[in-house]
Every structure is written in C-alpha cells, then in structure tokens.
C-alpha cells in the first residue's frame, strides 16, 4: 500500500490517498501513517463509504491503547446508540434514531465541542490521536476547524516561549462545559471526572518540536492567581487560533479524520442541530495503557 500525501494548508494538515481500511492490518502501512500524522498533525482520508465501526476500531488499535467506554457521567444519559464501547458518539442522534431534543443534557454537553480544545486534556493519561468518521453530514454547516499548535509555539515571542515552558496548567471537563453554557455539573458528574495538571508546553517525541497544550478544558495556571492565569490562557488561545494557523474541514460522508491532540487544537462549528442529522463517531488513542478507573459510564 503506497500512500500519496497531499498538503491541505501551508503549515499542516494533509489528505492521504491510497489507504484501504478494508485491507488486513498486516497490509496497512502504519509506519507511513504514523510518520504522516507526526509531520502534518491532521490527516484526511476520503472514502466513498465510511469505514465500518469494526474497521474504524481495528485501525485505531494499531495506533495505541484506545479508549473503551464513556469516561464522563452525563446525568440522565444512560443508553448508548453505538454498540461498541470504543466509539464516542459525537453526533446529535439519540438511541432511537431521532435528533436529540434541543434542551437535552446530552445535546448541551456536546455544544462544548464548539470551543477550541484538545480531546481529553482533562485526563491524566492524555489522548494522542483521535479518529473521527463522518457517517451522516448535514447539508450545510458542521465543519471542523483545526489549529497548528507547533507553528503557534514557533511564532510566540521568545520571552513568552520561555514563560510558557515554565508553567503547569489545571484542566477540567467542567471548565469547558461551563464556558459552553452547560448547566452547573451535578455531584455525580463532578465526581466522575476530577481536574488534572499538565505542562503548558508539549515536546513532540521524535521531532522535538514544541506546542502549546491549552484551550477550553484548561482552567487556570497552577500557582497563579485564578484570573491572571485565565487571562494568560485566553490570550494564548486567541493568538493560537488566528486564521493563518487554522485549517477548516468540510465533511463528506465517509471521511475519516485523524489528528494529533498534542500538536493541534480543534473545534466543531455551528449547524442547525435540531433540523439536520449529524452522525459522527470517534475513537481516541491514549499515551499509556488505560486503567480500569478511566472508564465505565453509560
């Protein structure tokens, strides 16, 4: 399987041609996929039909330990639509196949995806790659945007780079949900996912390139007055998401996008989510083997 890789943006993101998700795993050139992902940060695979859930999961397992099960409890949401625990359902379809009511807690929860974020930065065991497959795409809107956090780091003034390298940030899922207008978390929700800390700057294994590890789950800077830290994080996020750093993906049914959460940020964009169906399913790889305590919610 020889891959043909075509850049989509001056800084990052590339389209991969010649990859067959139906091939047996031993025929997949995963070294080439890994090298391309490391280099480009976001890979787009266009497929005439979406990889099946089984193919999606099998491909993801070749790239690292993958998430199994919901890692957050959303009160009142206890029935899954997709059968496999490895898949995160990020669409707007309920288990009966209808669009969720606009005021459903699960619908409000997913609105948080519209803020810039790195998947699962609120977990101690960070997410490396995410693989998102588009099964049903709304006729308008619902693009996904990505920002190249390595190019961002390279363009920061040297004194800001030095400051950033000295800082640690606290991340919490409830910080991003609050920002997105999700109601006050319940006790059971809060207990299901407490905050964690990560260095503000990530160094990419292999290349040594540095990136900012920030955005909406990032709550505050450890050891700084709350509002001062929040101000710095907001300023860095504004800098990082300038149009020159952003690739915007317009989905077609069948697309599989793979991105490196340690080198890029992403966000969903608006669409008429009470009118149009959007069926998107994600797998997520993690840095290390996943402890049992990381999962297990409906």
Can you give the binding site for ligand OGA, defined by CB under 6 A? 90, 113, 119, 130, 132, 144, 266, 268, 280, 282
CA gap 281, 231 in Å, rounded: 34
CA gap 171, 195 in Å, rounded: 6
Q: How many CB atoms lie within 10 A of CB 1?
A: 12
Nearest of 287, 274, 134 to residue 202 by alpha carbon: 287
Residue nearest to ligand OGA (CB): 268
Report the residue number, 136 or 155, with the smaller CB distance to ligand OGA: 136
Report the residue number, 202 or 216, with the smaller CB distance to ligand OGA: 216
Indicate which of Mn ion, ligand OGA, none lies near residue 268 (CB less than 5 to 8 Å, by partner kind): ligand OGA
Report the residue number, 58 or 180, with the smaller CB distance to ligand OGA: 180
Q: Which residues contact 128 (CB under 8 A, 6 or more apart)?
A: 63, 64, 260, 261, 262, 285, 286, 287
Q: How many CB atoms lie within 10 A of CB 270?
A: 11
Instruction: State the nearest-atom distance from the C-beta of 269 to Mn ion, in Å.
Output: 12
Number of residues lying near Mn ion (CB under 5 A): 1
Q: List the interface residues with Mn ion, window 265-284 (CB under 5 A).
A: none
Indicate which of Mn ion, ligand OGA, none lies near residue 90 (CB less than 5 to 8 Å, by partner kind): ligand OGA
Residue nearest to Mn ion (CB): 119
Burial class (CB in 10 A: 0-12, 13-18, 19+), 205: exposed
**DSSP label at 297?**
B
What is each CA distance from 94 to 43, 169, 177, in whole angstroms? 29, 35, 20
Indicate which of Mn ion, ligand OGA, none lies near residue 256 (CB less than 5 to 8 Å, by partner kind): none
Report the residue number, 13 or 232, with the smaller CB distance to ligand OGA: 13
Whether the Cβ atoms of residue 55 and residue 21 lie closer than 8 Å to each other: yes
Report the residue number, 28 or 43, with the smaller CB distance to Mn ion: 43
Report the residue number, 46 or 162, with the smaller CB distance to ligand OGA: 46
Per-residue binding letters, 178-217, with Mn ion (x by CB under 5 A): ----------------------------------------
Indicate which of ligand OGA, Mn ion, none lies near residue 132 (CB less than 5 to 8 Å, by partner kind): ligand OGA
Report the residue number, 164 or 256, with the smaller CB distance to ligand OGA: 256
The distance in angstroms from the start CA to the end CA of the chain is 38
Instruction: State the nearest-atom distance from the C-beta of 32 to ligand OGA, in Å.
Output: 24
- Taking CB under 5 A as the criterion, the residue among 67, 86, 89, 119 binding Mn ion is 119
CA gap 193, 288 in Å, rounded: 18
Whether the Cβ atoms of residue 257 and residue 44 lie closer than 8 Å to each other: yes
Q: Which residues bind Mn ion (CB under 5 A)?
A: 119
């Amino acid at each position: 399987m020889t891959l043909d890789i075509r850049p989509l943006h001056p800084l990052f993101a590339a389209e991969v041609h010649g990859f067959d998700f139906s091939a047996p795993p031993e025929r997949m050139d995963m070294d080439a996929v890994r090298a391309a992902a490391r280099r480009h940060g976001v890979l787009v695979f266009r497929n005439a039909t979406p990889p099946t859930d089984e193919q999606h999961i099998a491909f993801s397992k070749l790239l690292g330990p993958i998430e199994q099960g919901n890692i957050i409890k959303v009160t009142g949401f206890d029935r899954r639509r997709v059968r496999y625990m490895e898949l995160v359902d990020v669409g707007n379809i309920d288990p009966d196949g209808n669009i969720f009511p606009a005021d459903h807690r699960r619908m409000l929860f997913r609105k948080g995806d519209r803020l810039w974020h790195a998947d699962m930065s609120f977990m101690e065991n960070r997410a490396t790659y995410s693989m998102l497959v588009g099964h049903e795409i709304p006729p308008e809107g619902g693009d996904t945007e990505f920002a190249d956090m390595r190019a961002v780091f390279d363009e920061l003034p040297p004194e800001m780079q030095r400051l950033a390298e000295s800082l640690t940030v606290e991340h919490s899922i409830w910080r991003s949900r609050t920002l997105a207008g999700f109601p006050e978390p319940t006790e059971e929700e809060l207990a299901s996912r407490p905050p964690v800390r990560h260095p503000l700057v990530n160094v990419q294994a292999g290349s040594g390139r540095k990136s900012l590890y920030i955005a909406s789950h990032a709550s505050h800077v450890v050891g700084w007055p709350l509002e001062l830290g929040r101000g710095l994080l907001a300023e860095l996020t504004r800098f990082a998401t300038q149009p020159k750093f952003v690739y915007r993906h317009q989905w077609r049914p069948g697309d599989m996008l793979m991105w490196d959460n340690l080198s890029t940020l992403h966000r969903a964009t608006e669409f008429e989510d009470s009118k149009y169906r959007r069926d998107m399913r994600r797998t997520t790889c993690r840095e290390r083997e996943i402890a049992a305590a990381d999962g297990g919610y409906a």
